[in-house]
Amino acid sequence: MFALIFALIFALIWLFIRFSFGRITTTFDEAYYISTVKIGGVYSGLLTPYLLRLLNSVLQNPVWTLLLTSFVFFILYPFLLLGFHRRFSTYKGSVVGFFLALLLSSHYLWSSNEVRPQRIGLLVGLWVLLLYTGIFHDRENPARRNLYLVMTAVGWIILALSHVLSLVIVVALVWFLSLLDLLRSADIKTYLLLMLPSTSAPIIVLLLPQYDMTLFSAKWMLKHSSLSPLRMVGWHFIPFILLGFLLLILAGPLLFLLEGKVRIFHWISSFVRSEVRKRGSLYVLVGIIIMSLAIVLQVYLGRTTYGEVYRENFAFLLLMQFGNLVFNVLLILSIVEALGNERFGEPVLLVLLLAFLGLLALAVSAVMPSGFGSFGFTNWMVRVYQYLVVFSIPLVAGRINRAIVSRGWRRKAFAVLLLLGIVTTIANVARPPSIYSYPYYWTGDDLKLVPQVGPGFVYEAESGAPPENDLAISFLGWAYGVNLRPAGGDIGLIPPDACVGSLCHSPYPYIEVPILSVNFDNLSVVPGSLPAGLEEWANSLLSRGRGRRVSSNSSLLLLGNSTLNPGIASLEREYLIPILVNYSIIVGPTFKYYYAVKEGMKRGDVTRSYFVIQAVEVNGSRALVVSAPSMDGVAAGVWFISKDILQNPGRWERTSWVVGEWREKDGEVLPFLRAFEGDNNGFSPGDDIKIVKSGTVGKP
């Protein structure tokens, strides 16, 4: 009976989150994945986008495909988790406490509502963990044990296809469980049998071409970290990954031998149990302090995003985390209580392991690159925490069940706290527009017009400004795929010059101008953090008047990318240029090119780079932007303007943007582009340059 009631409750919550406030709420990741049903993309897991593509081939409606997938999983997910914990955590408590614990956490509601690879990856990971527990408990039944081993191998393959981060997390959990089993059983053979498939599964990720862009992005992220050891891992990614898995396998037997000699784990468990029994309240306080510091640091790292969503009101941000705070405090109380028991239990140890991994992820987030491309994530702790929530549910549910059966004012006070926590959590996930600045949604007008137009548009208003939800609209346009035509192995899309109602093929409010309309007789360089000499070299090639001061008829020259030049960052932020340069992707109004740069083993050892030349009008002034993911690409773009565009005005007179590709050829490099001593890869006039795409967008 309770199960049916909660199924109805979850359905109503889903409807409120998705359809309240006169719009369909989505998320960035979810909108991105639905955009890939027509064109493909960068995947952190393959099953989800392929499932969406298959379902969309039947429904022929990306929005309904997304919503149906979300609804089915949102209703089934709580019951699947309950079934998992009945077996894995031996949870015997009430379903009421279990489901109330789920509703307390916005990280659970958010991830279970969102259609992205993590959800399937987590479910497959839980299945793999159940298979491992079956192997541990069926040593006396060889036939069943062998069946579990075969199913486990299959499970790892499915997990590798489901979600990369889930694969990493589950490998860590399985290693820990296998280590605990080894310490209890002294069965090294079983340990090796269990670990080999778990460490072999990631090889699938390394080999499948569909994961190439994901691996490229991960390596880019590590290479550009501010921490030297992580940069080294990025430059030698595959060897370090293989070495890491080898060390992980060997760590089990080594720790087993260590335990046999000095009983280190026995001593640690006895010490922790004794300490918690003596000073339990102190350790609860320590846990709350650590939690608070972690939250503060996470908010600081993501302050730009959080500030936008919560309208710079960080007191409001804290208020809307009330449900999560209640969840965490109940979890800390349960962990401290469990650690004081005679035997901790594996579920408690796994929660502690995930908490440690979350803090480690927070430290990694602090040294991640930022400001240039989507892989400069600073929320790795949040991503790991979503797994911690799933494994923490029985512990939190236990505290809730005990509070429910208590008496007096404590029960009433707890009921009020629980109700407030659940209400704030649901509101936090629904993102009411009156109190949140949240741009990921679709309106009724969007759903009417987007299928007729496809990608590359915004509402055309008198102000010329895009709507708040322009990125969500753009993602949906790619999903409908109107007028999509592949070109040359890359995704090249050229829709007709047409408007449908008030919706136009005009993705940003820029004012395009021909490149040759720029005043090269009075060209002023907007400075950025560029290599010494590059700006002067560019100005000497392009500025016929050698002008350095901005006057009423001068034009601006902006070089670099959004990380190195605040002027370019400002233009991109305000959508005043049509083509954006990502760390590895060139994104135009109706086209995308992947693998925009190729680097060698050393930082700055670039052998290939795309570049973009585009001219726009900003506040009445002409601006020429030469951008690329590398400085060699920027130099190649400048050289192309000087030696081709300016020398052949008849050919380029109507062109407002150019996407080009530079490749190393002669083993020479301009002195100011040399990244290190002995660097022979970089732009020089003898290298190859080809034009990938050029033209005008044709704004109405």
pLDDT digits (tens, 9 = 90+) for 643-680: 999 999 889 988 999 999 999 998 888 988 888 888 88
Rounded-to-integer distance, Cα 36 and Cα 52, Å: 9
pLDDT, position 587: 79
Terminus-to-terminus CA distance in the chain, angstroms? 60
At 284, is the pLDDT very low, low, confident or very high (cuts 50, 70, 90)? very high
Question: Is residue 12 predicted with pLDDT exceeding 80?
Answer: yes
**Count of CB atoms within 10 A of residue 319's CB?**
14
- The model's pTM is 0.84
Which stretch of 22-36, 176-190, 486-500, 606-620 has the lowest confidence by average pLDDT? 486-500
Among residues 425, 436, 276, the alpha carbon closest in space to that of 352 is found at 276
Interacting residues of 150 by C-beta distance below 8 A, sequence separation 6+: none
Print the SS3 string covering 50-99: HHHHHHHHHHCCHHHHHHHHHHHHHHHHHHHHHHHHHHCCCCCCCHHHHH
**Residue 504 — very low, low, confident or very high, per pLDDT cuts 50/70/90?**
very low
Distance, CA of 53 to CA of 62 (rounded, Å): 9
**Burial of residue 77 (number of CB atoms within 10 Å: 0-12, 13-18, 19+):** buried
Tell me the C-alpha distance between 9 and 380, whole Å. Answer: 31
CA distances from 634 to 65, 67, 543, 581, 609 (A): 42, 43, 16, 11, 9
Q: Please give the average per-residue pLDDT across 163-184, as a whole number.
A: 92
- Helices and strands (H, E) in the chain, number of each type: 27, 17
Encoded tokens for 146: 């062998």
Query: Would you state the pLDDT for residue 544?
Result: 61
Q: What is the pLDDT of residue 645?
A: 94
- pLDDT tier for residue 487 given thresholds of 50, 70 and 90: very low
Cα separation of 596 and 124, whole Å?
Answer: 34
Percent of the chain with pLDDT over 70: 90
pLDDT band at 552 (very low <50, low <70, confident <90, very high): low
Query: Residue 275: what residue type?
Result: E
State how far the Cα of 195 lies from the Cα of 189, in Å rounded to an integer: 10
Q: How far apart are CA 519 and CA 624, in angstroms?
A: 9
Using the 8-state DSSP alphabet, how is residue 645 labeled? I
Confidence at residue 370, expressed as pLDDT on a 0 to 100 scale: 67
pLDDT of residue 489: 34
Mean pLDDT estimate for the chain = 85
Residue 343's pLDDT is 66
Nearest Cα to Cα of residue 425 among 332, 335, 328, 301: 328
**Cβ-based neighbour number of residue 448 at 10 Å:** 12
Give residues with Cβ within 8 angstroms of 251, minimum separation 6: 175, 179
Q: How far apart are CA 576 and CA 698, in angstroms?
A: 15
Judged against a pLDDT cut of 80, whether residue 66 lies above it is answered with yes
Asked whether the predicted pLDDT for residue 69 surpasses 60, the reply is yes
pLDDT-derived band at 30, boundaries 50, 70, 90: very high
- Give residue 396's identity as a one-letter amino acid code: V
Distance of CA 501 to the CA centre of its chain: 35
The mean pLDDT value for 46-60 works out to: 93
* Helix, strand, coil percent content, the chain, rounded in steps of 5: 60, 10, 30
What share of the chain in percent tops pLDDT 90?
Answer: 47
Joined together, the tokens standing for residue 541 give 């090639």
| SS3 (DSSP) at 427 | helix
List, for residues 130-157, the tens digit of each pLDDT value: 998 888 777 677 788 888 888 998 999 9
When pLDDT is cut at 50, 70 and 90, the band that residue 195 belongs to is confident
- Return d(Cα 580, Cα 592) in angstroms, integer: 10
CATH T-level topology, domain 511-695: Chitobiase; domain 2 (3.30.379)
Name the one residue in this structure whose structure tokens are 């989505």: 26
H/E element, 689: strand 688-695
Kindly report the CA angle at 182 between 176 and 184, in degrees rounded to 5? 110
Average pLDDT over residues 520-538: 85
pLDDT digits (tens, 9 = 90+) for 301-360: 988 889 889 988 888 999 999 999 999 999 999 999 999 886 667 889 999 999 999 999
Antiparallel, parallel or unpaired: β 585-587 and 580-581: antiparallel
- CA-based torsion, 563, 567, 571, 574: positive or negative: positive
Domain ranges of the chain: 2-430, 443-504, 511-695
Answer whether 592's CB lies under 8 Å from 39's CB: yes
Strands 523-526 and 555-560: parallel
Cβ count near 376 (within 10 Å): 17
pLDDT for 486 equals 35
Across residues 243-256, what is the average pLDDT?
Answer: 90
Spatial CB neighbours of 514, under 8 Å, sequence gap ≥ 6: 615, 652, 653, 654, 655, 656, 696
Tokens representing residue 620 in the block: 């009445």
Give the pLDDT band of residue 103 (cuts 50, 70, 90).
Answer: very high
Q: What is the pLDDT of residue 657?
A: 92
Output the CA–CA distances (angstroms, integers) from residue 412 to 94, 406, 409, 424, in the order listed: 19, 9, 5, 18
Q: Which of 129-143, 288-302, 470-484 has the lowest mean pLDDT?
A: 470-484
Q: In whole angstroms, give the CA distance from residue 149 to residue 142.
A: 10
| pLDDT-derived band at 619, boundaries 50, 70, 90 | confident
pLDDT score at 137: 75
pLDDT value at residue 342: 65
Q: What pLDDT shows up at residue 465? A: 60
Q: Nearest to residue 430, comparing CAs of 26, 8, 7, 6?
A: 26
Position 700 confidence tier, pLDDT thresholds 50, 70, 90? very low
368 backbone φψ class: left, alpha, beta (φ>0; ψ -120 to 50): beta
Q: Please report the sign of the dihedral spanned by the C-alpha atoms of residue 220, residue 224, residue 227, residue 229.
A: positive
pLDDT value at 499 more than 50: no
CA distance 492 to 508: 18
Cα–Cα distances in angstroms (integers) from residue 415 to residues 400, 428, 642, in the given order? 9, 20, 72
Biggest CA–CA distance in the chain, Å, is: 88
* Selection from 145-154, 199-208, 504-513 with the highest mean pLDDT: 145-154
Q: What CA–CA distance (Å, rounded) separates 384 from 379? A: 9
- Residue 374 above 80 pLDDT? no
Residues composing the chain: 700
Q: Which residue's entry shows tokens 């985390």?
A: 321
Q: Which long-range contacts (CB under 8 A, 24 or more apart) does 566-574 make?
A: 566/528, 567/526, 567/528, 568/528, 568/625, 568/627, 569/371, 571/616, 571/618, 571/623, 571/625, 574/509
pLDDT above 50 (res 503): no
pLDDT recorded at residue 620: 81
